[in-house]
Amino acid sequence: MMIFDAVADVLAERNGCDRSEITPDTRFLDLGADSLDVVEMMMDLEEKLGREVELTERVETVGELVKFLEKHYGA
């Protein structure tokens, strides 16, 4: 599964938003998710991706999170 798809799926599930409206430019705050929600989201993401992930940088958009995950955990 592509990382972007996994992130978008988890975000849509957690925040009850339309999956198709999530783009790399989508800001977490615009979805009502603060920085703690993002860290909590990582727990759901681990299940989706089937591996452990840990966020060590501050990210504000979906694209920034995807980039971080690709850099540290591969595509």
Partner 1 sequence: MAFAAEPYVRQVYYYETDRMSIVHHSNYIRWFEESRLDFMRQAGLPYEAIEREGILMPVTDVSAKFLSPSRYGDTVRIFPFMTEFNGVRASFRYEVRLPDGKLLATGTSGHCFVDERTRVPLNLKKRDPKAYELLRGLTEPDGAQADKEENKR
- Among 16, 20, 50, 56, which residue sits at the site for partner 1 (rule: CB under 8 A)? 56
Q: Pick one of 43, 47, 70, 71: the residue that binds partner 1 (CB under 8 A).
A: 43
Instruction: Select which of 5, 25, 30, 34 is catalytic.
Output: 34
Environment class of 37 (CB within 10 Å of its CB; exposed 0-12, middle 13-18, buried 19+): middle
Place of tokens 């971080």: 68
d(CA 46, CA 30): 23
- Give the per-residue contact string, 2-41, with partner 1 (x = CB under 8 A; - = no): ---------------------------------xx-xxx-
State yes or no: is 34 an active-site residue.
Answer: yes
Residues 23, 57: contact at Cβ < 8 Å? Answer: no
Active site positions, annotated: 34
